[in-house]
Each structure stands twice: as C-alpha cells, then as structure tokens.
Structure 1
Amino acid sequence: MLIGYARVLTDDQNLDLQRDALKGAGCERIFEDTVSGAKADRIGLAALMNVLRAGDTVVIWRLDRLGRSLKNLIQLVERLETVKVGLRSLQENIDTTSSGGRLVFHLFGALAEFERNLIRERTQAGLLAARARGRMGGQPKRLDPTKRALALKLHHERSHTIEEICRMMGISKSTLYNYLDKADSDVIGIA
C-alpha cells in the first residue's frame, strides 16, 4: 500500500501542494505534521510508523520533508528497510525498493550533506571576515548606554518594578534581564 507523509514547518504554511502530489501518486492514506523537522515528537510521523506493514511504501514529496538531517533521514530509511517498507520521493524520483534507488538515495543524501557543510563553512568565513573589519553580528542594542545605565540604576534602587522599568524604557523583560546579567558578569569580571 502507498502511504503518504507531508510536513510543513509552521501552521501558516500550506500542505495542499504536498497533499495533491501524494494523492496523484496513488497514496491511500496521508499522514501530516506542521512542525519543524528538528522536533523529535512529530505526531504524524509516529502515527505513520505505527501503521506500516511489510510491503508498504512511504511516499514523500521531497526528502527534506521526512528527515531533519542526513543522519536522521538515513536512520529513518534504515528503520523502514528493517520492516521491509520502501520509500519513494516524488521530487527527487527516488524509490528505495530497488537497489538503484537505494544507491541514488545515499548519493543525494551525501550531496545534500556536502552542500550544508559548504554553506556552514562560507557563513563562518564571512563572519570571521566581518569581525576582522570590526563588525559584530547580532541585533543592535535596544538601549543606548545612557538609557541602559538608567534602567540598571532604577532596578538597583528598587524604586520601580521590572514591568514599570520595561514600560518606561520600551523593552521586554528578557532584554532587561539580559542587561542585568551582563552588568553582573561585568562586575564579577572586574572583581
């Protein structure tokens, strides 16, 4: 039996494209998730794994819809193979029920991992080059040094609540707590 699996990252993304492709491929049932692939507890995937029987084929729209990483994807395919279930990816035209399909699956997976590593290396090189030129990444500070000092002073005087300080400064509690933690670590570093 052909059983489909579809996944999108967030609720505001749409599963229609994947559903249509899976139905067009002949899937009798389709399991779905609307969570990041990094989430270990994907309810739709768990339900899919529970209904699989030997001889079934899991059909996905693209390989990245199933696994959160190359390692995870390979583990899932190996798990499917141990229960004699195949995997078919529509976009990459891979079918692991054949030896050629298994070879292509591993080649695509290796190329995808290689590409991710190249992107990571380029990103790191770019960040190092920017730092060498004095540019730091990340969000700019919400408060200038004067306002930051005032917020810290108000907190240490205990004349205002955290909520009042945040409202006056136009910042969130987490931002204020980050400033407080930074100030505490600077004091500890000096001592």
Structure 2
Amino acid sequence: MTYGYIRVSTNKQTVENQRFEILEFCKKQNITVDSWIEETISGTVEPKKRELGKLLECVKKDDLIICSELSRLGRSLFMIMSVLNILMEKGARVWTIKDNYRLGDDIQSKVLAFAFGLSAEIERNLISQRTKEALALRKNEGKKLGRPVGSTSKKSKLDGAELEVSVMLLAGISVNQMAKLYGTHRKTVKLFISKNQLDTGANLAGLRELMRG
C-alpha cells in the first residue's frame, strides 16, 4: 500500500503543490498512490491528534508513505524521529522528495533509529534533573529567572544534540540533511560539529563501541 501524505499549516495554504510534487515523483518512480491523507494543521500538534496518527496506527509492513519533505511529519526533531521510529518498528517505509530521505531496511535507517532511541532515553532521564538543578542554582545566586528585557538568546537549536549529530555522522547523513532536520543553516551545523569535534576519529570510534555494547 502506498500513501501520499500532505500537510499544510493554515487554510490559506494549498495542498495542490504538495500533491503535484508527489504525483510527479511517483510518475518518475513508476509508483501508484493508493490512498491520500491530507490535513490542515500545525506541525507542532502531536501526531496522535492528527490524521497522521491514524495513518501510523493502520500502516503495515512494507507500506510506503511519500511526502514532500520531513517537516511535513512534524516541526521538531524529536517529533519527526518518533514518527520514523514507529514506522520503522512496523517495517513501513518513508520517502521524502525535497530532502531525498529514505527510511527502509538499511543500515542508515537502523543507525538513525538507534540514535533516536538512545537520545530519547537519555533525555527522559536527565531533562527534569537538569532543569531543576539549573533553576535552583540561579535562584541561589539571586538571579531572576527568564531572559532580561531587550536581550537576545545565544542558545542554538543544536545545543545538547552532540550524540544525535555524532550518530548521524556515523550513518553518513549529510550536513544539509541535518540542517533540514533541525531547521537551521548548514553553516550552523558545520560550526557545531567542528566546535565540538564530533567528526574526529576518536569520537566516532567511541560511538561505534557504544553501539556494539
């Protein structure tokens, strides 16, 4: 079964552009779309509250979902990766057109699934403790919580993503693909990788050992 998935954020946007992209892609690949899923809803809404959630429930092994780009699945990396993880566990496939992503039964897909599972587990275990400790420290120092009026945040979308980016490097994911996943510029990704020395032989070798364990 092949599904065409289309999502737009507002009623002012049209689904026709995405439908055209998918149809043209399928024509070149000699693929027929058996069913269309279209919805007008923000990508920040959880998949289970969207038509996408219903699709995730009914999709079966070897089914194929085609969409214009990964951002149609969600607006955050964790949301996108959680959707991909569900589909991979079911043995389903996802192909995107603009960012040329392929989820299937290959090593790249398995490494990405590992990255999500490990990162999510670490995040669940640490985020609450990390937040509480940071707030407590600032309170003890007598600092006001929140950003000062008129100031700008230096926080990067990649902060805390060292493990995820390292695994993606190991899987051969390009800088351009990472930039699209995180919604940032490729130069930002390259700088983040260089600054944290994520592409060094020592870092990648250590990650391989972790995965074997």
TM-score w.r.t. structure 1 length? Answer: 0.54
1:30-109 to 2 correspondences below 5 Å = 30-40=36-46, 42-97=49-104, 99=106, 102=109, 103=171
Q: What SS does the aligned partner of 1:23 have?
A: helix
Q: 1:109 to 1:13 in 2, by over 3 A?
A: same
Q: 1:105 to 1:79 in 2, by over 3 A?
A: farther
Whichever residue aligns with residue 111 of structure 1, its letter is: A
Mapped partners of 2:173, 2:2: distance in 1: 18
Equivalent residue in structure 2 for 1:115, among 184, 191, 206: 184
1:5 aligns with 2:5: yes
Unaligned 5+ segments in structure 2 are: 27-31, 110-170, 189-213
Deviation at 1:98, TM superposition (A): 5.1
Whichever residue aligns with residue 48 of structure 1, its letter is: L
Whichever residue aligns with residue 9 of structure 2, its letter is: L
Mapped partners of 2:173, 2:17: distance in 1: 23
Q: What SS does the aligned partner of 1:64 have?
A: helix
Q: Which residue of 2 aligns with 1:165?
A: none
1:152-171 to 2 correspondences below 5 Å = none
- Which string of whole-angstrom CA distances, capped at 9 and with x for unpartnered residues, describes residues 146-173 of structure 1? xxxxxxxxxxxxxxxxxxxxxxxxxxxx
- Which string of whole-angstrom CA distances, capped at 9 and with x for unpartnered residues, describes residues 111-169 of structure 1? 332727x5xxxxxxxxxxxxxxxxxxxxxxxxxxxxxxxxxxxxxxxxxxxxxxxxxxx
Between the two proteins, what is the percent identity of the paired residues?
21
Mapped partners of 2:175, 2:89: distance in 1: 20
Q: What SS does the aligned partner of 1:4 have?
A: strand
Whichever residue aligns with residue 184 of structure 2, its letter is: E
Which moved further from structure 2: 97-106 or 40-49? 97-106
Unaligned 5+ segments in structure 1 are: 119-191
Larger Rg over CA atoms: 1
Mapped partners of 1:86, 1:104: distance in 2: 19
Q: Which residue of 2 aligns with 1:174?
A: none
Which moved further from structure 2: 57-66 or 33-42? 33-42
Which moved further from structure 2: 99-108 or 47-56? 99-108
Mapped partners of 1:114, 1:108: distance in 2: 10
Does structure 1 conserve the Cα–Cα contact (< 8 Å) formed by 2:10 and 2:42?
yes
Q: Which residue of 1 aligns with 2:21?
A: 21
Q: 1:73 to 1:90 in 2, by over 3 A?
A: same
Mapped partners of 1:14, 1:73: distance in 2: 22
TM-score w.r.t. structure 2 length? Answer: 0.49
